[in-house]
A = this chain, B = another copy of it.
Amino acid sequence: MPELRKDPITGRWVIIASDRPKRPEDFLKYEAPEMIGKCPFEPGHEEMTPPEILAFRDKETAANKPGWTVRVVPNRHPALRVEGELDRRGEGMFDLMNGIGAHEIIIETPDHDLKLEDQPPEGIAAVLRAYRERSHDLRKDARFKYILIFRNHGEPAGAMLQHPHSQLMAMPVVPKRVQEEINGAKQYFKMRERCVFCDMIREELAARKRVVLENEGFVVLAPFASRFPFETWVLPKKHSGDFAAMDDAAILVCARAFKEALKRTTQVLTDPPYNFVIHTSPLQENEDELHWHAEIIPRLTRVAGFEWGTGFYINPTPPEEAADFLRSAQP
């Protein structure tokens, strides 16, 4: 059973994966890349994954058989496990709990080589709808406090398999960075009685220095204090705390913004490895302080000890210049 452990000083939670602990020699082994014809996410290879949880598929076709366009399966090696009690406990001065949670894979397309950003907007919208449906289902489970949706593209960004996929983790704690954003937004609201994200969007749209693109519902911008070169955020223009509250129409508008943001990023930076992660409000609370958004982070620089040890970043590309390059791209 994996464990969730809390740092007694900062309160940061960490998953300690004790099921198959890695020994020193495991870090030296070459991790074989996916072999052609052996990809577990291909149609026809459905038996290579655990049984599907959700699939958008032809009505004629059977579960766990070809005929799907988007398919959601449990991660075969989950960082958190769905079975069991939370069992919060102390161990001397330390706090920990069982690593309860869900860890799912969203296979975005049957086509091994079709990148997310190259799908038509309707294809991307289907992926976002899969995120939403899984979110709605998982939030019924009172053990979970947060649903984290993220995507790793390229091996340097942590993608173990090349076939386009995203990941979803339902977990019993709110991630620290998200909590910090909520705390910051709460504090700002207390002072100004406005959402800090809404204010930021208004200023950015007026100044146009860091805006990459805008459509009827969404804005994509290079944030003022970007940690990473060419980091961008995709935000709904109208305040909303919950990614999963989007209806199908909003999801399609969102998909178009996403597609363009990713296309421009991959064009300007020549298909870089990247991560994106969705920041949405915690579950089991009726609060709406956060303004949900997605953060797209190209992996261009090595993050050195300085950044690890301090949470303090050096970004070699001013966001104004990044936005300029991204705006000028013709994807």
Q: How many A residues are at the interface, by size bracket?
A: 35 or more
Choose from B5, B20, B297, B310 the contact partner of A175 (Cβ within 8 Å): B310
CB contacts under 8 Å to B, within A11-29, are 11-18, 20-24, 26-28
Contact flag A10-B181 (CB < 8 Å), given A17-B314, A23-B317:
yes
> Is A60 interfacial (CB-CB < 8 Å)?
no
Evaluate contact between B316 and A157: CB separation under 8 angstroms: no
Nearest CB in chain B: distance from A272 CB, A: 7
Choose from B9, B24, B157, B230 the contact partner of A197 (Cβ within 8 Å): B9
Interface string of A169-207 (1 = CB under 8 A from B): 101010111101101110010000000110110010001
* A176-B18 Cα distance, complex, nearest whole Å: 30
* A21-B178 Cα distance, complex, nearest whole Å: 29
Nearest CB in chain B: distance from A228 CB, A: 8
Evaluate contact between B313 and A15: CB separation under 8 angstroms: yes
Nearest CB in chain B: distance from A239 CB, A: 14
Choose from B158, B196, B227 the contact partner of A8 (Cβ within 8 Å): B196
> Is A135 interfacial (CB-CB < 8 Å)?
no
A199 neighbours in B (Cβ, 8 Å): 8, 93
Nearest CB in chain B: distance from A229 CB, A: 6
A325 neighbours in B (Cβ, 8 Å): 23-24
Evaluate contact between B224 and A7: CB separation under 8 angstroms: yes
Evaluate contact between A297 and B301: CB separation under 8 angstroms: no
- Interface residues of chain A: helix, strand, loop or mixed (majority): mixed
Contact flag A304-B157 (CB < 8 Å), given A10-B184, A203-B93, A225-B13:
yes
A21 neighbours in B (Cβ, 8 Å): 316-318, 321
Q: Which of A40-48, A118-126, A144-152 contacts B (4 or more CB under 8 A)?
A: A144-152
Where the two chains meet, the residues of A that have a C-beta atom closer than 8 Å to any C-beta of B are 3, 5-18, 20-24, 26-28, 79, 92-94, 148, 150-152, 155-159, 167, 169, 171, 173, 175-178, 180-181, 183-185, 188, 196-197, 199-200, 203, 207, 223-227, 229-230, 268-270, 272, 275-277, 279, 295, 297, 300-306, 308-319, 321, 325
Interface CB pairs A-B, < 8 A, 25: A5-B224, A5-B225, A6-B225, A8-B188, A9-B197, A10-B184, A12-B311, A13-B312, A14-B226, A14-B227, A15-B313, A15-B314, A24-B325, A27-B229, A27-B269, A27-B272, A150-B304, A152-B304, A152-B306, A157-B305, A158-B306, A178-B310, A275-B305, A275-B308, A275-B309
